[in-house]
Each structure stands twice: as C-alpha cells, then as structure tokens.
C-alpha cells in the first residue's frame, strides 16, 4: 500500500468532554479541526464561487464521485489534471464514494457482494460500480481524501439487512484499500451497522483491523432519533484511535455538530446551509428565519443584527424576501453566503470553547436555540 498522504495531530484536548482541536495536513493545505465541509456535490458549492468560499474561510469542501462519474465524466476531469484545476479550487477536497447516492438516487439498484448495478438518475443508462472501480474513479478525480465504497441502508432497517450491509461494507473497504494506487491521497474507512450497537462495534473492529488514514461514522442522520445518533457516535469515538481524524457524515444542525464535537468528532458535512439558502431559510444566532414569510415584507432589519457578514451589513430582510419571492437568483446567493458565514463562525466558536473549557455551555445554548426554532 502507498504511504499515507495525511498527517493528523492533536493541538488541544478539552478536560471536560471528549472534544479536541486537531491539525490535518493534506496535499493541498492544512485544515484545523473541528471543521465543516460545505457540499460541492458536482464540483460546485451551489450558488457560491471559489473566491467567495475562500473569503469565507472555507478550508475544505466535499465533492461526490458518483455525480462526477456520471457528469462531466472522469476523463474530462482527468484531462484537466484533477478536480482542483477543473473547478479552480486550490484548497483540500474530500470526495464521497457515492454509496449514499446510489442508494438514494439510482433507478433499479441491485446490490451484490461484488458491487452495485444501477441506472443513472440522469438518463437511465446502466452502470456497474465495484470497490475497485470507485477507488480508480476517485484517484482519477484527485481529491485529497477519498472514501471507501459502502452499502448504505435506510432507517429503520431490519437487523439481518443491517448486518449484511455492515459485513459487505467492511469487505468492500478491504478491497478499496487493496485497489489503492496513488500515494498522494488519504483513504478513509466508513463505519456501519445501522442503529444496532453490536453491529457498530463489529464494524469498528473489522474496519480498524484493515487500517485507514481516518474513519467516517456512516449510516446515521437518516431519520433515527437524535438521542440514538449521539449514543452511536459516542460508542464509535470511544473505540476509534485518538491519532486519526473522525468524520461524522451528513451532520448537521449547529447543535448536532456541537454535540458531536463534545463526543470527539473532528469533521462534518451537510447540505443544510446551502439548501436552506436556496429555499429562503437563514441560520441566525437566535434560530432559523424563513424569509419567505409575509411578516418580513417590510422588515428593514438585517437577517441577524449580530452577524458580521456583508449580507447582514448591507441588505434587509424585506429585500431578500422580495428576491426569493421573485425567483431572483441573487436571493439564494445572498442567503447561502450568510448561512455559510454562520457555519464558519460556528466552527470558530467551537474552537474557542474547546480551548477555554466552555464547550458544554455552548452545546446547551445551541440546544436551546434549536428547540425554540
């Protein structure tokens, strides 16, 4: 196997919780953790330019191998010398392998121990993906961190199906590692087992026995109760090595991330700030605002008076509501920018709280805000 392209060191540990601040060193730069990765599914964080992301202080983004494989195609990206040059983004990138997208988007999906046969959600064309193929695809795309191919199940999931998917994902992870050829990418394993504690433990043991540069907690944030999510996150981080980054996939809200940080998670991704931005919803220090509501039609206030982003300094709630109601793309751009700014400032607040020993207070405050939303 090629040598690791990643180094990770703990900078600070919280004495009251399992939270830690870490430094990820990757081929395209360093990333201070905990970190939020905006989702750039198709090599684009929706409504945002690379320059705006840099201005916001985004250190790493997430793209998706499934989508990029279907469109524009691996050969197009390879022809540019990789995804960084293709999209004009020069900081680190993580690519998800596409297991979730095959599960959620593909038509006529058929899974067996060798791989997945599916029809494209774009044009109905038939495709076959295996752990070896998805590893080759991600190496051609050229992200700093690539993910193992996994068998994703919904919630609720019968025990036997969850066990089958967990064992299959572990077997596929081993095949992904054997198929790896590049020495300038990190490879993360993905933990599964649905909501069953014994399956989660078995998944962790199997994945650790293979050995990866980092570990992702997968198969959560698919509808299960939050209390159960946090139980399984705590179980996972308690078994994972301290010297490897821990990535909670698809999470989440400000409170979810803060709680997960307190349990020892380092990395997050979620579509919420960008999706909400496109649908008129803003994250604020006092909860969410749906700016499509009529109550904001004449509101001259900024989205959040305590926010320092240029949107809040310049534009009113009434104006942004007008843009959203009129279908003007500027409305989605302004709200997305604001929401991503909120998430970046949240990460800064989490770093500061871990350093000062006040993370528990911040978690409780975010929980109160979310419950009032």
Q: Which residues are catalytic?
A: 96, 269
Calculate the dihedral angle through the C-alpha atoms of 324, 330, 336, 338, rounding to the nearest 10 degrees. Answer: -100
* Residue 42 CB contacts under 8 Å (≥ 6 apart), including other chains: 63, 64, 67, 68, 71
> In this structure, what are the phi and psi dihedrals at residue 354, rounded to the nearest 5 degrees?
-65, -45
Number of alpha carbons in the 13 Å side-chain half-sphere of residue 253: 19
* Residue 102 CB contacts under 8 Å (≥ 6 apart), including other chains: 66, 109, 116, 118, 129, 152
Alpha-carbon distance of 175 to 149, in angstroms, equals 9
Pair of tokens at residue 121: 């959600």
∠ CA 264-347-20 to the nearest 5 degrees? 25
Alpha-carbon distance of 311 to 331, in angstroms, equals 10
CB atoms within 10 A of CB 298: 10
Strands (E), 229-360: 246-248, 267-270, 281-284, 287-290
Chain centroid, CA 75 distance in Å: 25
Pair of tokens at residue 44: 């684009």
Closest CA to 253 of 290, 226, 228, 213: 226
Bridge partners of 128, per DSSP, are: 117
Q: Which residue has the tokens 């109550």?
A: 295
Alpha-carbon distance of 268 to 33, in angstroms, equals 10
Whether the Cβ atoms of residue 35 and residue 145 lie closer than 8 Å to each other: no
């Amino acid at each position: 196997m090629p040598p690791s392209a990643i180094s990770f060191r703990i900078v600070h540990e919280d004495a009251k919780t399992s939270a830690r601040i870490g430094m990820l060193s990757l081929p395209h730069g360093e990333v201070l953790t905990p970190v939020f990765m905006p989702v750039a599914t198709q090599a684009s964080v929706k409504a945002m330019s690379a320059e705006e992301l840099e201005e916001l202080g985004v250190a790493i983004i997430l793209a998706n191998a499934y989508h990029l494989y279907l469109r524009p195609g691996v050969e197009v990206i390879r022809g540019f010398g990789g995804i960084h040059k293709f999209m004009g983004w020069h900081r680190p990138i993580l690519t998800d392998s596409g297991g979730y997208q095959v599960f959620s988007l593909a038509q006529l999906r058929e899974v067996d121990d060798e791989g997945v046969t599916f029809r494209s959600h774009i044009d109905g064309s038939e495709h076959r993906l295996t752990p070896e193929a998805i590893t080759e695809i991600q190496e051609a795309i050229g992200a700093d961190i690539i993910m193992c191919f996994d068998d994703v199940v919904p919630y609720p999931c019968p025990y036997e199906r969850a066990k089958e998917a967990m064992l299959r994902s572990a077997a596929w992870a081993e095949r992904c590692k054997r198929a790896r050829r590049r020495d300038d990418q990190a490879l993360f394993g993905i933990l599964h087992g649905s909501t069953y504690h014994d399956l989660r433990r078995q998944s962790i043991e199997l994945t650790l026995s293979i050995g990866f540069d980092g570990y992702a907690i997968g198969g959560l944030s698919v509808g299960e109760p939050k209390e159960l999510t946090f139980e399984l996150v705590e179980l996972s981080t308690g078994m994972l090595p301290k010297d490897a980054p821990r990535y909670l996939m698809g999470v989440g809200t400000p409170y979810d991330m803060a709680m997960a940080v307190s349990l020892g998670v380092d990395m997050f991704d979620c579509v919420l700030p960008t999706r909400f931005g496109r649908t008129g919803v803003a994250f604020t220090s006092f909860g969410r605002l749906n700016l499509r509501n009529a109550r904001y039609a004449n509101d001259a206030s900024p989205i959040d008076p305590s926010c320092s982003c240029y949107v809040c300094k310049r534009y009113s709630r009434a104006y942004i509501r007008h843009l959203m109601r009129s279908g003007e793309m500027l409305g989605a751009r302004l709200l997305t920018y604001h929401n991503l700014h909120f998430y970046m400032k949240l990460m800064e607040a989490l770093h500061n709280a871990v350093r000062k020993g006040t993370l528990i207070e911040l978690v409780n405050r975010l929980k109160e805000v979310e419950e009032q939303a």
